[in-house]
Amino acid sequence: MAMWKRRRVLGKGTYGTVFLVELSDPTATPIAVKTCPIAKSFSLQLEERVLAQLRGCPGIVSCLGSSLTVEDGPGLYNLFLEYAAGGTLEDLIKKESGLCERDMRRYLRMILRGLCSVHGKGMVHCDLKPSNILVFPGKGGDSLKIADFGLAREGQDYKEEMGFWRFRFRGTPYYMSPESVAFGEIGAPLDIWSLGCILVEMVTGKPALWKYRNLNARKLRLAIAQQSPGIPEGLSENGKDFLRKCFAMDPRERWTAEMLLNHPFVSRPIYGNGKTPEPQASPKSPLKFRAISGFICFLASSGLVLFYAR
């Protein structure tokens, strides 16, 4: 890492402050640094470990290393990240007071590709929300990447953490799933529920559980545990079906990121009239989806499937 210094604050969170970095090499690509006292750097160290495992994966912000510094007081832990000049998805939503469906679908594809990488490694983000999704402007349009893995669940550490996390919010309440709030269950379906909440926010410009904003922690917990967010009327039928797959109350019935990537809402193009064709019959649960896939593979291996034409 070349010589560097912090320039201006890009954002502040519970576990650190993010700065734009000025490098000694004026031709170098701008980067960001997330900083906190070493004594409180558990979350940043976790984020660095997670991002190291996800290096090169699509839809995931890149970690460029870390350093320790001492500056007029306690030591600081610095985590270097690629700089998102477009800010966050939250900024985009607030600017437009909601997004058009064409952009929603394109952004969902990017987020889902990132979630496929995260879940494929046996990890869970646990705090997926618009402010933790970065925007990178480009000639072909904005691209999104998932960031802020400071609360992520790392594979096998789940059982060890259960004593601490049970009956506590792990993440941001408005984006938490019923099973995580009611029973302390932390798994990939939590991120899918959060994704559904993000889509509602893209449509309405407000958090999915906005109507509960004045409830105390106990009543908010009960509200989340007992019902799913409402599905916006302004969304297409494909979009509403996508949300139903995200908001299945039973996490075993919730679709996976890989399945959602093949949902008509994100997989099919939008034509000139802005409407999408109705989805074909789809499996009602992840278990049935896997059973159908296995049956097709069996037929193919037996030589019973000769061709498929569409």
* Residue 208: per-residue pLDDT: 83
For residue 112, pLDDT over 60 is answered with yes
* Residue that the structure tokens 């679709």 belong to: 255
Give tens-digit pLDDT for 265-302.
Answer: 999 875 543 444 434 434 445 654 455 445 444 444 44
Residues 108 and 191 in one domain: yes
Residues 154 and 284 in one domain: yes
Last residue of a domain, one of 82, 100, 133: 82
Give tens-digit pLDDT for 180-204.
Answer: 988 889 999 999 999 999 999 999 9
Provide the pLDDT confidence category of residue 135 given band limits of 50, 70 and 90. Answer: very high
Residues 103 and 227 in one domain: yes
Residues 100 and 77 in one domain: no
For residue 310, pLDDT over 50 is answered with no
Residues 76 and 142 in one domain: no
Provide the pLDDT confidence category of residue 213 given band limits of 50, 70 and 90. Answer: low
Supply the CATH number for residue 66's domain.
Answer: 3.30.200.20
Last residue of a domain, one of 22, 55, 82: 82
For residue 170, pLDDT over 80 is answered with no
In a domain, 95, yes or no: yes
In a domain, 310, yes or no: no
In a domain, 183, yes or no: yes
Domain count, the chain: 2
91 is catalytic: no
In a domain, 162, yes or no: yes
In a domain, 180, yes or no: yes
Residues 73 and 156 in one domain: no
pTM recorded for the entire structure: 0.82
Residues 279 and 194 in one domain: yes
3-class secondary structure, 255: coil
* Residue 212: per-residue pLDDT: 66
Helices (H), 6-62: 42-53
Residues 190 and 57 in one domain: no
How much is the mean pLDDT over the chain?
Answer: 83
* Residue 1: per-residue pLDDT: 58
Domain of residue 28, residue span: 4-82
What's the CA gap between 231 and 247, in Å, rounded? 9
3-class secondary structure, 185: coil
* C-beta separation of 210 from 197 below 8 A: no
Supply the CATH number for residue 181's domain.
Answer: 1.10.510.10
In a domain, 300, yes or no: no
* C-beta separation of 153 from 161 below 8 A: yes
Q: Annotated catalytic residue: which of 25, 72, 91, 127?
A: 127
Q: Name the residue with higher pLDDT: 277 or 29.
A: 29
Question: How many percent of the chain have pLDDT more than 90?
Answer: 58
* Residue 306: per-residue pLDDT: 37
Provide the pLDDT confidence category of residue 165 given band limits of 50, 70 and 90. Answer: very low
In a domain, 298, yes or no: no
Give the best-scoring range by mean pLDDT among 85-99, 212-226, 247-261: 247-261
Least confident of 20-29, 185-194, 298-307: 298-307
CB atoms within 10 A of CB 265: 25
* Residue 156: per-residue pLDDT: 56
CA distance from start to end of the chain: 53
* C-beta separation of 125 from 144 below 8 A: no
Residues 103 and 198 in one domain: yes
What's the CA gap between 303 and 310, in Å, rounded? 20
CB atoms within 10 A of CB 263: 21
Provide the pLDDT confidence category of residue 214 given band limits of 50, 70 and 90. Answer: low
What is the arithmetic mean of pLDDT over 1-22?
86
Least confident of 19-33, 99-113, 254-268, 285-299: 285-299
What's the CA gap between 223 and 181, in Å, rounded? 10
Residues 190 and 140 in one domain: yes
Residues 27 and 126 in one domain: no
Least confident of 157-161, 192-196, 238-242: 157-161
Residues 28 and 173 in one domain: no
What is the arithmetic mean of pLDDT over 62-89?
93
Last residue of a domain, one of 53, 82, 111: 82
Provide the pLDDT confidence category of residue 74 given band limits of 50, 70 and 90. Answer: confident
In a domain, 179, yes or no: yes
Q: What is the largest CA-CA distance in the chain?
A: 73
In Å, how far are 150, 242, 255, 308 from 261, measured between CA atoms? Answer: 25, 10, 10, 21
